[in-house]
Structure 1
């Protein structure tokens, strides 16, 4: 039975907590965080504390806080024997001060109230000690069938790629929703298209899957689209993305 302590009370901390509660072989012995109200979320199933100087002993300490607070929180664990890990995609392993350190990064978007299935989520692990790496692999395996050993430099680039496919794409969904609402249309009309676009890249590359006016250099359609846009930021985005798509496929045009 692996004993773990979760440090943090945000979205990721709550999702990890829920996942580990369901896992055989894992005992969440404590949750530590500064927000007393948020700590009450963990009241029913485990001990909790807002005192970082009274952290219980565990095999793994999962720091699930904002990136700029990782080092500060890790300092409270300098006298612990367990593995101290952070859960950030963009932060180097060296942000953790204790020597027995690692990374436990679930590659997924986490939103309050939205349940996710951890079994298919890629969990990227890293550690300097072989024994620690195997412990993290075992811990990740309790909740996911998709575990990968990825170093800090690889993980930073992976996190950047994730921003493009998730954060930027979601923003574009928002732009599309605005355009629909301007005409009294439901955004639901676009959802089958969104799902099909995502489904295609399961079997072919994004470059192969690319379609649309810019892909076929349809200047007339692109000009017409620009005339329909009133927001300067949307016009800039349309031009920038169309040009990027054209350049990516210029040899085929």
Structure 2
């Protein structure tokens, strides 16, 4: 039996708590990060708070093994004086969306082998995909994730704005979005690239620019140039 204390009430903590509850070998409890006066003891204390709060919250915890769940913070940003680790899940979490942990990569880090195996045991109890990732690697992985997730979603927003402006349903684009995502299961992103930029269709590119706002034109031109230059 591994005792786990979750510190935080946000999206990540919400899904982790519910996942751990279903595992007989894990005894999980949860507290709000704003109420740290009485911190229960646990084998593993998982801090699931915003990046900016990790140092302050961890400094108040005396439990023997404290880990955070951030992709953007190094292991040593934890300010507890005891053992440290990272239990990072590379996924976008929302309370309203059911999470299949078997599909989520668990990126783990610890200062010693024994602690890493404890984190690995927790990850395997609710998931399948476990990776040993150090702080520098995780930083690179996190910025890569921003490009493929946050930035791509922002491009969806632009597409939605364009559709709305011209009285079109964004639903028309959804099969294309799904097909693009499916392609990278069998092709590299470079080989999957299509469109007027890679073909050099200057007339089409100009027609597109004529339809766009100034801000949208800037984004379109930067991406078009990068695709054409192979950046």
Give me the TM-score of the superposition, normalised by structure 1. 0.88
Point out the more displaced range, 65-74 or 155-164: 65-74
- Hey, what does 1:76 align to over in structure 2? 60
Is the aligned partner of 1:25 residue 2:39? no
- Hey, what does 2:132 align to over in structure 1? 149
- Hey, what does 2:5 align to over in structure 1? 5
SS at match of 1:56: coil
Long gaps (5+) in structure 2: none
Measure the CA separation in 2 of the matches of 1:20 and 1:69: 23
Quick check: 2:33–2:57 contact (8 Å CA) kept in 1?
no
Residue 180 of structure 1: which of 148, 160, 163 is its match?
Answer: 163
- Hey, what does 1:65 align to over in structure 2? 49
- Hey, what does 2:77 align to over in structure 1? 95
Aligned-residue offset at 1:30? 3.1
SS at match of 1:180: helix
Measure the CA separation in 1 of the matches of 2:21 and 2:214: 48
Aligned-residue offset at 1:244? 0.4
Quick check: 1:24–1:142 contact (8 Å CA) kept in 2?
no
Aligned-residue offset at 1:23? 2.4
Aligned-residue offset at 1:26? 1.3
Residue 194 of structure 2: which of 186, 211, 216 is its match?
Answer: 211
Aligned-residue offset at 1:76? 1.5
Aligned-residue offset at 1:75? 1.2
Quick check: 2:12–2:48 contact (8 Å CA) kept in 1?
yes
Is the aligned partner of 1:15 residue 2:15? yes
Aligned-residue offset at 1:222? 0.1
Is the aligned partner of 1:233 residue 2:210? no
SS at match of 2:198: coil
Measure the CA separation in 2 of the matches of 1:89 and 1:68: 12
How does 1:95-134 map onto structure 2 within 5 Å? 95-97=77-79, 98-134=81-117
Quick check: 2:17–2:30 contact (8 Å CA) kept in 1?
no
Quick check: 1:102–1:128 contact (8 Å CA) kept in 2?
yes
Long gaps (5+) in structure 1: 35-49
What are the Cα deviations for residues 2-29 of structure 1, in whole angstroms up to 9, with x where unaligned? 1111111111111111211122311113
Give me the TM-score of the superposition, normalised by structure 2. 0.96
Measure the CA separation in 1 of the matches of 2:202 and 2:24: 58
